[in-house]
Chain A
């Protein structure tokens, strides 16, 4: 597609429910990143993938959070047993791999998660 897409754009769920957030990166982009963004703040890194391999998950807050990218394209961020503190904007970004230089990340529109 023309840009990074995410779905759903808005998700309201009850505490204790599981949610799955989807990211569809720009076609051909090898690297995919997940961020969480609190209101008025910059994005906070969660995890990233090169192809289907998860390279770094140090930013995931706890073991209720997991991510996968099984075929190296679409990625799913799953939050189990949601808590109110999980409420935030979850953004995905994609980029080409490093090949001797830095690359720009292109951000999706985000999923606004509200946990009641």
Chain B
């Protein structure tokens, strides 16, 4: 059974703080690593898809890095804002369809 772990489970930060969280995934049979942003009562929204070891993607204040050899990805948020509050999901695809982690729930306090 493939295991995708995300840590921490939840995080509270002050507005303006920068933060990061981790996604760990199997390093064998790697194909792609996806990050999604999910607000309660809405659908998960795609942030990034990364495939190459050392990949780094950026979208505004959010960026992500990928290490396929050791099986982890970091998501960084610079200068957190209240509207960044959401659950951030990562998903691994190898030779199977996407396997999602349980997410990191971020709360940004104004």
- Interface residues, chain A, with chain B CB atoms under 8 Å away: 4, 33, 41-45, 48, 56, 59, 91, 101-110
Contact = CB atoms under 8 A, between A and B. Distances in A.
Residue among A91, A105, A108 with max Cβ neighbours from chain B (10 Å): A105
A42 B102 contact: yes
Interface centre among B44, B101, B103 (most CB of A within 10 A): B44
Interface in B14-67: 31-32, 34, 42-46, 49, 51
Nearest to A101: B51
9 contacts: A41-B103, A42-B91, A43-B100, A45-B100, A91-B44, A103-B49, A105-B34, A106-B46, A107-B45
A97 to B, nearest CB: 13
A22 to B, nearest CB: 16
Contact of B93 (A4, A91, A102, A108): A102
Chain A interface helix/strand/loop/mixed = loop
Contacts, number: 49
Interface of B: 31-32, 34, 42-46, 49, 51, 89, 91, 93, 96-103
A107 B46 CA distance: 9
Which 6 A-B residue pairings sit nearest by Cβ, starting from the closest?
A: A42-B100, A102-B32, A107-B43, A104-B46, A107-B44, A42-B89
A98 to B, nearest CB: 9
B97 A109 contact: no
A32 to B, nearest CB: 11
Contacts of B93: 102
A109 B38 CA distance: 11
Contacts of A41: 102-103
A108 B43 contact: yes
